[in-house]
Amino acid sequence: MNRRLAMFDSIPYTRHYADQHDEHRVYLYGLSYCEHCEQGRQLLEEQGVAFDMTHLDTLAADVRRPVLKAFRDEYGEHVPYPVLEIDDEYLFGFNREVWLEKLGRE
């Protein structure tokens, strides 16, 4: 997926602000019980990245199902979480080095 799907605009997010302006639009899709999702959130905060986050497992079913389907259509049946969206590009699974590179914070 290299474009933001319109359905993602209706998801409730929690905004995480940064101390500095960031040139990227960043969204973090995770699960409330996911250790890698928490590690991803912490990395973004440590790096001062402004981002919006949602825990997909806490969303109402009618909101959650189409999002999960879109991720499965892109990645396959077993989607690795978290999913990081940076400027309409989606990264599946937590990989510190890849995330830092994509954010320009190597």
Quote the pLDDT of residue 25.
87
pTM reported for the whole predicted model? 0.83
Cβ atoms 7, 67 nearer than 8 A: yes
State the pLDDT confidence band at 63, using cuts at 50, 70 and 90: confident
pLDDT > 90 fraction of the chain, expressed in percent and rounded: 52
- The span from the CA of 62 to the CA of 105, in Å, is 36
pLDDT in tens, 83-92: 999 988 999 9
- Domain ranges across the chain: 6-102
Look up residue 85 and give its two tokens. 């969206």
| Domain 6-102 top-level CATH class | alpha beta
